[in-house]
Structure 1
Amino acid sequence: MTPTATLMLERSAQHFVDGQYLPGNGARVAIIDPATEAEIGSYAEAIEAEMEQAIALANQAQKGWWALSALERADALHRVADRLGELSAQVGECLTREMGKPYREAEWEAGASASAFRYYAELARQEHGRVAGPAIAGQLHMTIKEPLGTVVSIVPYNFPVLLFGWQAAASLAAGNAIIVKPSELTSLTLLLVMQAFDHLPAGLVQCLTGGANVGRHLVAHPHTHAVAFTGSVPAGQAVAQSAALRFKPVLIEASGNDPFIVMPSSPVEIVARGAAFAAFLNCGQVCTSAERFYVHEDVYDRFVSALAAEARKLRIGNGLECVDIGPMASARERARVENIVARAVEQGARIVCGGKRPADREQGWFFEPTVLEVSHAMDIMHGECFGPLAPVCKVRSLDEAIALANDSEFGLGANIYTENLAEAMRAVNEIESGIVWVNTPLNDNDCVPFGGRKMTGQGRELGIEGLEQFRRSKMVMIAPQAIDDPEWFPYPDDEAFPATQQ
């Protein structure tokens, strides 16, 4: 057993509250390694008393955090980034054991999260409001930015370290406290991440594990002040409805169904490699996965053949081995993907490669990277697959590709491969999504906002927009001295309603 595996057992059924790991008092639930189906630990269902304690501590710690100077907060957040770098190997191994992704992908998350902390540490230090031209001569009129209070972060299993890092970095930089409720599948990973915050005021960053009931309590509580949620559409709608009762700001990223357009001007072999990455990264369990391929008829056959060849090359196995693709995160997720494929075949789809469990893997929730030839009308093109599936549809023109790309309830990301500038500009301007990648799929930038449209959700992470998500604006007007104002009482008689004037 590795040191990390031992630590996972030690952290099992604990919460991180008031700057320390404490045993949970609620029911324990087993955590299963999706590659081996072995029990590797457990999480505890947080009970109401534990949640009440954490919320009270968070609100107390937030006041002290906001009382610090912006430079002191920035220095502390840079130290968080340092600690995340130091913990990346340990956290990466834990994440691979909990949800299955290849170690390379899992270890990367802590470093990417650290980058967000460095960005927001400096952004919040230099961006604190603005001074306006005064409406009254001699006065100072300005807008200052203040924290919301205590933020509730509910993060999914697919990128728990990265997504929590984005939210925590912006929240803390803005002056808030934060309580994270991780996915039941990656609870231990977030508990290990809490080590990166051990130098911050106790209670400022806390982790409570559990299921939907824990999330509901934290969201609805009168003393939490904002919510950042990533998950399904129904759960996101429930979060928004609950938060709306108290007018809490919400950041919701619910689902994606991202199109990937391929035009004849693009180099097919390179595009096929990019497409394989966009479709099969993290076994397709990515909100911005390419899930609908619209390929121009002039290159369609070559692309399908090349993409299938790339899919067949991918090594499938335990994420702690030398592999490209790990298992699905749970047996339920694999069964869901199998049902999607079965339905597509029933509707007339042709499986080019994959479409089944690997023959050489008796244990674990593995599923082969799958390329299918489909039509746009099939169900597989109209919901979030969230698995290693690449359904490919032939189109006759860019007009048709854009129209089909927009024929979706979701609008998170979109990809187009073209070396025709006019086509690229049309895609950027006409595709209904929050993100458009031209010849560079699935990349992020701390400085640029991430988020979607339509049923994907609301709000933005990253960029200045991500910081604003966790701040409120206050109007301030300062007169240099107290003097009479001509607007005060009594009003002049000659300004009264004309009929009353003598």
Structure 2
Amino acid sequence: MLRSVNPATGEQIAVHEELSPTALERKLDLAASAFRRWRETSLQDRADLLGNIAYCFEENKDALARMASLEMGKTYRSANAEVEKSAAGFRVYAERGPDMLAPRMQPLTGGGTAETRWLPLGPVLAVMPWNFPYWQVVRFLAPAIMAGNVGLLKHASIVQGVAGLLEEMVLAAGAPEGLFQNLAIRSSAVAAIIADDRVAAVTLTGSEGAGKSVAEAAGRNLKKVVLELGGSDPFIVMPSADLDAAVKQAVTARIQNSGQSCICAKRMIVHADIYDAFLERFADGMRRVKAGDPFDEASDMGPLSSLEQRDTVLKQVEEAKALGATLLFGGEAPEGPGAFLSAGVLTDVPLDSPLMAEEIFGPIAMVFKAADLDDAIRIANDIPFGLGSSVWTRDEAEQEQFIRRIEAGMTAVNQMLASSPEAPFGGIKRSGHGRELGPYGMHEFMNLKTIMHPAAGSVAGSVATE
């Protein structure tokens, strides 16, 4: 059984039955059959379906948002925004997907042309986390549908209500049976599904450990895999920055989704000349953050996703303190039900501490002092992750230095980092490989086929060489 528990109250919401081996087999057969039909549909039919799914999300926004708030604790306000963003993601691929898949022609030096086309691969298995339970799925599903693939979802066990609603929305939009299916299974069943010949590829968003397991299974079976793993993103502030704007965005970037986002800014790296001013204002902003009932408009953030997740963050804070870090305030679990945790700030974290190789998935910020630009970049890169980054400077030369030298898949300039349907999303180093979103995310799970055409009036038959 898979249990949904309200992290704000500790009360059980629902119990979901796991798929039996026989039921799982039927779903895999259905996915393979659906793919054979869906791959033959026109690009316009695929785009029309995506537009219909977006409409279903918009029409059912309240029910969808409420389920996310109940199952994983995000505020109802942010859950609404996530549903709206998900609808926008479907619409982007509906409107721009056909152009992303347009064939390309390239003249050849020996005469003739090479045509390239993007063709679908087959059923794609998505192993998705609970923190953005709709948007994470849309990031794979919208491009998969547009590509002519079909989707199989292994969602986090604690958000099976969300997973069920996702499948309902796709079917309500008029999708053929089997185009998208939720698999109510545990992580232990994933490797066998990756090995199944009916599954063409796999994508995962999650922890480094989960990424290694999925990558190993995919490699063993020669399946394409995209991994979006953890991050400990730097938020660098230089003397020329608009300090008020930087501080405001730093607070938002650290506490969004209760600090449970891969691209939350987790390490504030501040130039020595403005360090004290930044820290004073940032600490004041973090102290004002109110954790409370996700359905209360006055709450800045809800609880963490579970008591286990809260305990993990508390342990990380205690370990940092034991190694010399200073907890200025926060990081406290209030009495009473729920997995609530107050926002907090750590300073003086040793750069060689184990915390630098971990991701704090909660509303605890680390603040570091940098002597200059080179030192800021050194601190930013001195971790095993490389997902996102944010840099705050009005000096264009400094901006270029950060863009070129920060080891990350993404850099936001004078703004907090956020994902967008149009822009490629992903990281390097131990933050994973491959990209989601934009045309690149769709092309990850397609066959780039080359078609060789002879020059006009020529006769084929020359000796070919590789």
TM range (shorter): over 0.9
- Per-residue displacement from partner, 1:265-309 (whole Å, max 9, x unpaired)? 223332221111111111110001111111111111121111111
Match of 1:379 among 337, 340, 354: 354
Hey, what's the Cα distance between the residues in 2 that align with 1:197 and 1:215? 23
Hey, what's the Cα distance between the residues in 2 that align with 1:132 and 1:388? 51
User: CA RMSD for the aligned pairs?
Assistant: 1.9
Residue in structure 2 matched with residue 10 of structure 1 by the alignment: none
Hey, what's the Cα distance between the residues in 1 that align with 2:201 and 2:282? 43
Match of 2:343 among 369, 373, 380: 369
Match of 2:129 among 148, 151, 156: 156
Contact (CA 8 Å) 1:30, 1:42: kept in 2 or not? yes
Contact (CA 8 Å) 1:81, 1:114: kept in 2 or not? yes
Contact (CA 8 Å) 1:291, 1:381: kept in 2 or not? no
Hey, what's the Cα distance between the residues in 2 that align with 1:140 and 1:440? 44
1:223 aligns to what SS in structure 2? coil
Contact (CA 8 Å) 1:80, 1:197: kept in 2 or not? yes
Give 1:49-448 correspondences, 5 Å limit. Answer: 49-126=22-99, 127-134=101-108, 141-198=114-171, 199-322=174-297, 323-358=299-334, 361-375=335-349, 376-448=351-423
- From the superposition, tell whether residues 378 and 293 of structure 1 become closer, same or farther in structure 2 (CA, over 3 Å): farther
Q: CA offset at residue 418 of structure 1?
A: 1.4
Q: Which moved more, 1:298-307 or 1:167-176?
A: 298-307
Hey, what's the Cα distance between the residues in 2 that align with 1:217 and 1:415? 39
Contact (CA 8 Å) 1:268, 1:306: kept in 2 or not? no
- Larger-Rg structure: 1
Q: Which moved more, 1:401-410 or 1:289-298?
A: 289-298
Hey, what's the Cα distance between the residues in 1 that align with 2:278 and 2:455? 70
Hey, what's the Cα distance between the residues in 2 that align with 1:229 and 1:340? 25
- From the superposition, tell whether residues 59 and 481 of structure 1 become closer, same or farther in structure 2 (CA, over 3 Å): farther
TM-score when normalising by structure 2:
0.94
Unpaired segments ≥5 residues, structure 2 = none
Q: CA offset at residue 486 of structure 1?
A: 5.0
Q: CA offset at residue 163 of structure 1?
A: 0.9
Match of 1:36 among 9, 19, 24: 9
Q: CA offset at residue 379 of structure 1?
A: 3.1
Contact (CA 8 Å) 1:45, 1:214: kept in 2 or not? no
Q: CA offset at residue 400 of structure 1?
A: 0.3
Residue in structure 2 matched with residue 4 of structure 1 by the alignment: none
Q: CA offset at residue 134 of structure 1?
A: 4.9
Hey, what's the Cα distance between the residues in 2 that align with 1:83 and 1:39? 28
Q: Which moved more, 1:238-247 or 1:336-345?
A: 238-247
- From the superposition, tell whether residues 302 and 134 of structure 1 become closer, same or farther in structure 2 (CA, over 3 Å): closer
- From the superposition, tell whether residues 344 and 68 of structure 1 become closer, same or farther in structure 2 (CA, over 3 Å): same
Match of 1:46 among 19, 22, 26: 19
Hey, what's the Cα distance between the residues in 2 that align with 1:484 and 1:366? 74
Residue in structure 2 matched with residue 464 of structure 1 by the alignment: 439
Hey, what's the Cα distance between the residues in 2 that align with 1:463 and 1:484? 40
Runs of 4+ in 1 over 4 A off after TM superposition: 134-137, 478-486
Hey, what's the Cα distance between the residues in 2 that align with 1:302 and 1:482? 74
- From the superposition, tell whether residues 481 and 104 of structure 1 become closer, same or farther in structure 2 (CA, over 3 Å): same
- From the superposition, tell whether residues 371 and 146 of structure 1 become closer, same or farther in structure 2 (CA, over 3 Å): same
Q: Which moved more, 1:210-219 or 1:169-178?
A: 210-219
Q: Which moved more, 1:210-219 or 1:220-229?
A: 210-219
Q: Which moved more, 1:330-339 or 1:119-128?
A: 119-128
Hey, what's the Cα distance between the residues in 2 that align with 1:190 and 1:374? 41
Unpaired segments ≥5 residues, structure 1 = 1-27, 490-502
2:60 aligns to what SS in structure 1? helix
Q: CA offset at residue 228 of structure 1?
A: 1.0
